[in-house]
Amino acid sequence: MKFEQRATQNPIDRGRVVGLPLDRIDGPAKVSGAARYAYEHHQAAPNAAYGWILGASIPKGRIATIDTSEAESAEGVLAVITHKNSGALGKGEKNTATLLGGPKIEHYHQAVACVVAETLEQARDAAHLIRIRYTAEKGRYDLAEQKEQAAEPPPIQGKMPADTAVGDFAASFANAPVKIDHTYTTPDQSHMPMEPFATTAAWSGDKLTLWTANQMVAWGVKDLALTLKIKPENIRLMSPYVGGGFGSKLFLRADAVLAALGAKAAGRPVKVAMARDLMANNSVHRPATIQRIRIGADREGKISAIGHEVWSGNLQGGAPEAAALQTRLLYAGDHRMTSHRLAVLDLPEGNAMRAPGEAVGMLALEVAMDELAEQLRMDPIELRLRNDIQHNPETGEENPYSTRQLVECLREGATRFGWDRRSAQTGARRDGQWLIGMGVAAAFRNSPVMKSAAKVSVDMMGRVTVHTDMTDIGTGSYTIIAQTAAEMLGVPIDRVTVKLGDSTFPVSAGSGGQWGANSSTSGVYAACMALREKLTQNAGFNAQDDIVFEDGQIKSSGRSVSLAKAAGPKGAEAEDAIEFGEINKKFVQAAFGAHFVEAAVEAYTGEIRVRRMLGVFAAGRVLNPKTARSQMIGAMTMGVGAALMEELVVDTQQGFFANHDLAEYAVPVSADIPDQDVVFLDEIDDTSSPMKAKGLGELGICGAGAAISNAVYNATGIRIRDYPLTIDKLIGAGTASL
């Protein structure tokens, strides 16, 4: 099915199942332990051995010698995999560094060996018996030091220019009556999913089966085939449940490659789970940024010039953190410029982390807007309202937004949050020894779509089954896909079975980039439409009849035929994909929102506490308000982490992330998030997909941290432009308020 024109009235609009706040259908399996994660397929892969990954202890250089003899002779050891016996390996398209290092070492904790043994403990202990002598080379580990050597990168995601320019930014900014010019920094951040990178691998002849933690099944198959230099059709990759990914599991990781190599060497299934303290340096992370933002406006707050420059670093061949993308689209301004510069660093690979680009870009842009409002002596909401725009400000009115309710989100949020109680004077509100402040920020995230396929069948009992390689990373894919099929075929949701995460199933969009829900359900919609046509014919109706699928029946003109009867004794099935045509290029498709935060700062210690958070969002049709709310509060919580605590500390002498486990890498816990509320505005986007939905999983993190920063400033009068906002920075700044 090709989606080329605005969606008209369709079965999804009935709203009998889609749009309801239903419980997750996979919930019982998860809480009972019946859901099998990558490391837990004991019956499917019996008598499995265990692998332990050894990481490089230098960040850059070469392996001079490697002696595995002592490890190989240790009790229980079945095999030791290194570059010397792995055979010639390739590299996946999505990987910047090779997944098994040696002799060249590209970053600290790059996998250099995997010991396979009868037990996990035997494998772990034997790994410490491997003797490696390295020849270290001088590396580059400090973004600030390498900033001047940064160069323009290739097009972002292969299609967007690194730099843009409209009008004459320099002249307009220079002549603006009111202006701000500030630099903001964000640190390297780690995904830290609860489930480690884990794989169970088994061979049968030349056929490889992997159960692995992966967000994008088809990508994983392709890159594993490239890495192992085998045919993709000889790989079956399964990832039915993923215990958190946030972008870290979009790509093939070392656990999958080494489990496959280990299973081949041992001649039996092998399980590999990456040790927690290896994950931060071995896998991908969100790169640090330096961002300079300049905004010029007239005295009424109308922006005339807006410029956003971003510097980030990565391994040679890696991509930049595209933190200026939202600045190209969010606010009006006739004279504009954005640029991205990429420095080569010898740190672990930087890549996608929830809302790559916008998440850190909004940390800077939305604080800059707050600072401009202060210069203007204007309410920060009013400033945003005055610079709303209903089309792409870089390309003009011929490129409008499909829907854009930023103004409505700000106004609704202000009323619900009690924004009128905010004092414009910093440090004016106190609660005992706590200074109280309020902050606001816009939320923005592009809402892309991707081709997605599914197979839907009905059996002789009228039960519906959906097959697609879409993954569920804790976001509710099982449930919204079941809701879509139930709505389309007129059955209760408990009559639908959903099978996900298997490379033998039709290729879906996968879980990433805020495209998963809208795209994958649209693929199910397409398959259901094809199946409805078959069932309608089987039931003896004409295609021109006014057909309704409801209550397990196919109905038209006073006659009804059960779904089971129409399916027949052999059942019926159909497979199709949704492909998106030119309509997606005619409109800017993005999701919007507004974040409101009340923060308290202890006047004597500088301790920061988030007291209240409110997010108001407009993101097309909300397919399941319950799972959507769960997504948003999770994203908002990650925004708290980005604002107040998350930071991979770079040892710029030794070239690694020093705080590489959950003991030292701080993330928010329940005590840090006392009160969150989420509101969805009614919205239908008929240019987005037949579901008339948009992506929203990453929207909640975009702007949340900036709202916290603005609240802290409102409470204290201290403006911190260096994330995270830690006590030392508050105390070090000093103010009469503290």
Structure tokens belonging to residue 130: 């491997």
Cβ 413 vs Cβ 596: under 8 Å? yes
195, 309, 598, 698: the active-site residue: 698
Q: How far is CA 520 from the centre of its chain?
A: 16
Provide the b/e sequence for 676-697 (b: ≥16 CB within 10 Å): bbbbbbebebbbbbbbbbbbbb
Sign of the C-alpha dihedral, residues 35, 245, 204, 76?
negative
Q: Which helix (H) or strand (E) holds 290?
A: strand 289-297
Structure tokens belonging to residue 129: 């018996």
Q: For 221, how many CA atoms within 13 A lie in the half-sphere containing its CB?
A: 22
Strand ranges across the sheet with 289-297 = 164-166, 335-344, 303-314, 289-297, 178-186
Structure tokens belonging to residue 533: 């046509």
Give 290's strand partners.
Answer: 185, 311
Q: Which helix (H) or strand (E) holds 384?
A: helix 380-386
Cβ 354 vs Cβ 248: under 8 Å? no
Q: Is 241 helix (H, G, I), strand (E, B) or coil?
A: coil
Total residues found in the chain within this entry? 738
Match 């080569």 to its residue by tokens.
344
674 Cβ partners below 8 Å, 6+ apart?
Answer: 609, 610, 611, 612
733 Cβ partners below 8 Å, 6+ apart?
Answer: 718, 720
Q: How far is CA 175 from the centre of its chain?
A: 40
Cβ atoms within 10 Å of 138's Cβ, excluding its own: 8
Structure tokens belonging to residue 67: 């002696």
Cβ 531 vs Cβ 546: under 8 Å? no
Alpha-carbon span 723 to 81, nearest angstrom: 41
Whether residue 664 lies in the annotated active site: no
For residue 202, which amino acid is it?
A
Alpha-carbon span 666 to 187, nearest angstrom: 13
Cβ atoms within 10 Å of 405's Cβ, excluding its own: 21
Q: Is 709 helix (H, G, I), strand (E, B) or coil?
A: helix
Alpha-carbon span 101 to 504, nearest angstrom: 31
Q: What is the CA radius of gyration of the chain?
A: 27
Cβ 155 vs Cβ 273: under 8 Å? no
Alpha-carbon span 620 to 403, nearest angstrom: 8
Provide the b/e sequence for 555-572 (b: ≥16 CB within 10 Å): bbeeeebebbbbbeeeeb
Surface-to-core class of residue 732, CB atoms within 10 Å of its CB (0-12 exposed, 13-18 middle, 19+ buried):
exposed
Closest to 721 (Cα-Cα) out of 381, 312, 383, 289: 289
3-state SS of 129-195 is CCEEEEEECCCCCCHHHHHHHCECCCCECCCECCCEEECCHHHHHHHCCEEEEEEEEECCECCCCCC
Structure tokens belonging to residue 27: 């919930």
Alpha-carbon span 90 to 228, nearest angstrom: 6
Alpha-carbon span 459 to 563, nearest angstrom: 9
Cβ 86 vs Cβ 68: under 8 Å? no
Provide the b/e sequence for 196-210 (b: ≥16 CB within 10 Å): bbbbbbbbeeeebbb
Catalytic residues: 698
